[in-house]
């Protein structure tokens, strides 16, 4: 697939991620036609009003049948459902990729339901926001981000790599299982902790919220349905990481019980060193 010759891209799931991709592609490739799928009349009206898509379609067959490239920006569970729905309408050579936060489940489903003459490429750009919805889309959302590609290197995956690089991403090839283990620690567990902390603090304390509390709970505004799907799709890795994290919290609890200032300093110093490695 030659990106310069691609005429039509279809995006299924035009929320923050899908909408931002549409804006970025239109900015980079002005002659490209980008269609978006509306799953409801409310979604149709909103996408038409926003006006950054060349066409908004409610018919899956019309959307995908002549698309050279199809992108899924849906929640993880919904991607699996819609992979099966579009399967009968795909033409030979169609390339499909997703933006999902977990990869093993999605790629396993793609292998089962998609025709052999199509190509699925697992993608996960590490970009986003606690905000959701197409109205928050940004053409610059992906610039400067890492994008994981979790399918084996091939002519097609290298083309998809070029697409992400053209939008300002640094692309890294990785296998799906390694991806899911990494994302559990650096994204999924932090969201779980943020949700838990926001829920833990009494309502009458919130008017006194400090900058540190606001920083730690910013992502607790993330949409519940999206994150419930992610937690369940990657639950094995998240449960393992949660057990490790609880052990670390117990260390702090024990040192506090014994007023062991030296040990507490060591724990904090270790965390300081790690945090300094965050880019």
The neighbour count for residue 20, using CB atoms within 10 Å, is: 27
Together in a domain, 138 and 208: no
Residue 210, domain CATH: 1.10.3660.10
pTM here is 0.91
Closest to 101 in 3D by CA, of 188, 228, 192, 12: 188
- The predicted model gives 57-61 an average pLDDT of 94
Name the E strands within the chain. 8-12, 33-37, 55-57, 69-72, 95-98, 119-121, 123-125, 146-149, 170-173
The confidence score (pLDDT) of residue 2 equals 66
Together in a domain, 18 and 117: yes
Domain boundary among 174, 206, 237: 174
Together in a domain, 127 and 196: no
Closest to 105 in 3D by CA, of 237, 240, 17: 237
Q: How far is Cα 98 from Cα 76, in angstroms, rounded to an integer?
A: 9
Together in a domain, 145 and 254: no
Together in a domain, 184 and 230: yes
Q: Is the pLDDT of residue 271 over 90?
A: yes
Q: Is the pLDDT of residue 198 over 70?
A: yes
Q: How far is Cα 270 from Cα 272, in angstroms, rounded to an integer?
A: 5
Residue 48, domain CATH: 3.40.50.720
Together in a domain, 65 and 135: yes
Dihedral sign computed on CA atoms, order 205, 211, 216, 218: positive
Together in a domain, 145 and 216: no
Q: How far is Cα 259 from Cα 254, in angstroms, rounded to an integer?
A: 9
Name the E strands within 157-205. 170-173
- The predicted model gives 203-221 an average pLDDT of 95
Domain boundary among 174, 207, 226: 174
Closest to 37 in 3D by CA, of 19, 14, 65: 14
The confidence score (pLDDT) of residue 138 equals 92
The confidence score (pLDDT) of residue 7 equals 85
- Residue 149 parent element (H or E): strand 146-149
Domain boundary among 147, 174, 201: 174
Question: Residue 105 CA to chain centroid, in angstroms?
Answer: 14
What is the count of structural domains for the chain? 2
Average pLDDT, the chain: 94
Contact 98, 106 (CB under 8 A): yes
Together in a domain, 229 and 98: no
Together in a domain, 192 and 258: yes
Together in a domain, 90 and 213: no
Q: Is the pLDDT of residue 114 over 70?
A: yes
Pairs from 269-275 (Cβ < 8 Å, separation ≥ 24):
none
Together in a domain, 246 and 150: no
Together in a domain, 157 and 201: no
Q: How far is Cα 15 from Cα 132, in angstroms, rounded to an integer?
A: 6
Confidence of residue 31 (pLDDT cuts 50, 70, 90): confident
Q: How far is Cα 242 from Cα 193, in angstroms, rounded to an integer?
A: 9
Percentage with pLDDT > 70 across the chain: 99
DSSP SS3 for 271: helix
Domain membership of residue 224 as a residue range? 178-275
């Amino acid at each position: 697939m030659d990106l310069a010759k691609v005429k039509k891209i279809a995006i299924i799931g035009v929320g923050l991620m899908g909408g931002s991709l549409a804006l970025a592609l239109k900015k980079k490739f002005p002659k490209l036609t980008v269609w978006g799928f509306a799953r409801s009349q409310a979604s149709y009206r909103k996408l038409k009003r926003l006006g950054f898509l060349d066409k908004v379609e409610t018919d899956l067959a019309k959307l995908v049948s002549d698309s050279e490239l199809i992108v899924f920006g849906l929640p993880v569970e919904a991607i699996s459902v819609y992979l099966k729905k579009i399967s009968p309408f795909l033409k030979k050579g169609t390339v499909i990729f997703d933006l999902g936060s977990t990869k093993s489940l999605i790629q396993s489903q793609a292998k089962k339901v998609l025709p052999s003459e199509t190509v699925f490429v697992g993608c996960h750009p590490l970009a986003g926001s606690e905000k959701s919805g197409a109205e928050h889309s940004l053409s610059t959302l992906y610039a400067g981000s890492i994008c994981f590609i979790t399918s084996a290197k091939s002519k097609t995956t290298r083309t998809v790599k070029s697409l992400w690089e053209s939008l300002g991403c640094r692309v890294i090839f990785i296998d799906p299982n390694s991806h899911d283990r990494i994302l559990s620690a650096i994204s999924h567990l932090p969201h779980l902790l943020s949700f838990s902390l926001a829920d833990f603090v009494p309502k009458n304390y919130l008017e006194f919220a400090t900058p540190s509390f606001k920083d730690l709970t910013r992502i607790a505004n993330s949409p519940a349905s999206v994150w419930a799907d992610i937690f369940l799709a990657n639950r094995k890795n998240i449960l393992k990481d949660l057990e490790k994290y609880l052990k670390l919290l117990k260390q702090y609890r024990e040192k506090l019980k014994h007023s062991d200032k030296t040990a507490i300093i060591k724990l904090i110093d270790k965390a300081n060193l790690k945090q300094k490695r965050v880019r």
